[in-house]
Chain A
Amino acid sequence: MNFADLAKVPGPASEWVLREELEETGLERGFVLEVMRDRLRVMREAIERGLQSDAPSVAGMVGWNAKTLWEAEDPLRAPLLKRVQAYAMAVNEENARMGKIVAAPTAGSAGTVPGALFGVADHLGLPDERLVMPLVLAGGVAKIISRQVYIAGASGGCQNEIGSSAAMAAAAVTELLGGSPEASVHAAALALQNTLGLVCDPVGGYVEVPCVMRNGFFSVHAVSAAQQALAGVRSFIPPDEVVLAMAKIGRLLPPELKETGRGGLACTPTARRTVARLGGTPPDCDDPPDGG
């Protein structure tokens, strides 16, 4: 099944993703749904721990941001916005301090899907059980993307990771709120096409900066895509073509910007000083380490 096929199915898109999975693997329906419930529980626990902790991460660059945001006043009076991004950041700060998380689809992008799904569900007072099938759809979106690209920053930049997670979350939120398969697929396409070209340049190679806050931003991005798709906005470029564009961009990106720690933010003077302070070898970059 590609996005074009999925857009045309009658009834919930997640049901068709699940049927295809059962056919491919021979697994029992009940087993797969129980695994999904278990993964939702792990996500929920990661959010709860992450919102309460301000313990620093392995490299000490993050660890307190989710809690800081969560406990702060909200001058915007936009509780959904705050909730979604705080949840997503909470998961990735847990990840960065070696906590237990669900890779969705990767560890570095693990916060986007739970941030958007639980953020919206809690905002609207929906029970967690309602998230099981949308999570299946999120997995289905990742399967479709993974047929064209390796979902890894090292393969095609951050667009492959956070772009995938945002597309997954956008489709899932759309279905959660009663959107059609076509709306869900377009939510995924809208989210994905607006991450294209995003590079993977984490400071020191640690999954901390910019990864943690990026999950916060892109969980909101996913909810925006769902809001547009639910309102009837559609992607001008067909969803499957967006994935092909992402694959091509990934090939065009230079290695420096694909999880090698040798370009972008990882090459800033502060990043190089940080790596040296942590006892590592700073990357060779074109400009002098003091910033010129």
Chain B
Amino acid sequence: MGLLDMIGPVMIGPSSSHTAGAARIAWLARKIFAAEPERAEFGLHGSFAETGEGHGTKKALLAGVLALAPDDPRIKEAERLAEEAGLAYAFREVELGDVHPNTVRIVLENAEERAVIYGSSLGGGVVKIWRIDHFEAHVTGAAPTLLVKHVDTPGVIARVARVLADDEVNIAYLTSSRDKKGGEALMSIEMDRPLAEIPLAYLNHLPYVLWARAIPPLPEAKPG
């Protein structure tokens, strides 16, 4: 843990794991969904379900899905803002098995799309999205991340890595997961800097790429 984690994050109280962490997971979930959600359902597991009310966990989750930054003071008005934005939402307690005690399952939907996103708040505001739909994933918001959903066919990872290499983007972390052989797969690629717009658009045009999305780092990591 570095200096900026010790004097930070800048956050809305009262709890770094139950408020700031929750807001961060939901903010990342919204970026992963990449569209305007019409409905959001939050499944609260473990300590998220138990202490959620007192720590503003529900407001923080809702605010994140509304794309409010984790240090936005309007987090405490999240219910009203959701109503204004026409976002339907529900909270329920869920038992997700042997996962981190501070875990949430976020389901985001609109007329065209549906995503089921699992994230955990690991302490001190550090978070990790570890599952998206049927796929293992790795999104922490600590660095720019590229998600690529594609057909499970030989050479896709090499092809995507080539596009990144041509843009001189260094890969810090890469994980890939598929639902079944020859089915669909998801790559999570954490990078030292974001991929430029044109190579990203190029990736989205590849025939075996279903979509490629750039997930920015968490917004409050920057000063100002």
Contacts and interface: CB of A to CB of B under 8 A. Distances in A.
B13 A102 contact: no
With a 10 A CB-CB cut-off, give which of B6, B17, B76 has the most chain A CB atoms: B6
A106 B15 CA distance: 8
A132 to B, nearest CB: 11
B124 to A, nearest CB: 7
A204 B6 CA distance: 26
A101 B223 contact: no
Contacts of B51: 205, 261
A66 B55 CA distance: 21
A103 B9 contact: yes
Contacts of A104: 6-8
B163 interface: no
A105 B124 contact: yes
A86 B161 CA distance: 55
Interface stretch (A28-36, A173-181, A186-194, A234-242): A28-36
A146 B6 contact: yes
Interface in A102-116: 102-108, 110, 113
Contact of B8 (A18, A102, A208): A102
Size category of the B interface is 20 to 34
Interface stretch (A5-13, A37-45, A76-84, A118-126): A37-45
Given A38-B224, A58-B56, A32 B10 contact: no
A54 to B, nearest CB: 17
B20 A107 contact: yes
B26 to A, nearest CB: 15
A225 interface: no
Interface string B17-43: 101100000000000000000000000
B91 to A, nearest CB: 15
Contact of B1 (A38, A110, A143): A143
B2 interface: yes
Nearest to B13: A95
Interface in B84-130: 123-125
B40 to A, nearest CB: 20
Nearest to B77: A98
A98 B56 contact: yes
A31 B223 contact: yes
A103 B3 contact: no
B219 interface: no
A90 to B, nearest CB: 12
B13 A206 contact: no
9 contacts: A35-B4, A37-B223, A58-B56, A99-B12, A100-B13, A104-B6, A143-B3, A205-B50, A206-B14
Interface of B: 1-4, 6-17, 19-20, 50-51, 53-56, 59, 71, 73, 75-76, 123-125, 223-224
Given A142-B7, A206-B55, A207-B15, 6 more contacts: A34-B224, A38-B10, A98-B75, A100-B13, A100-B73, A101-B11
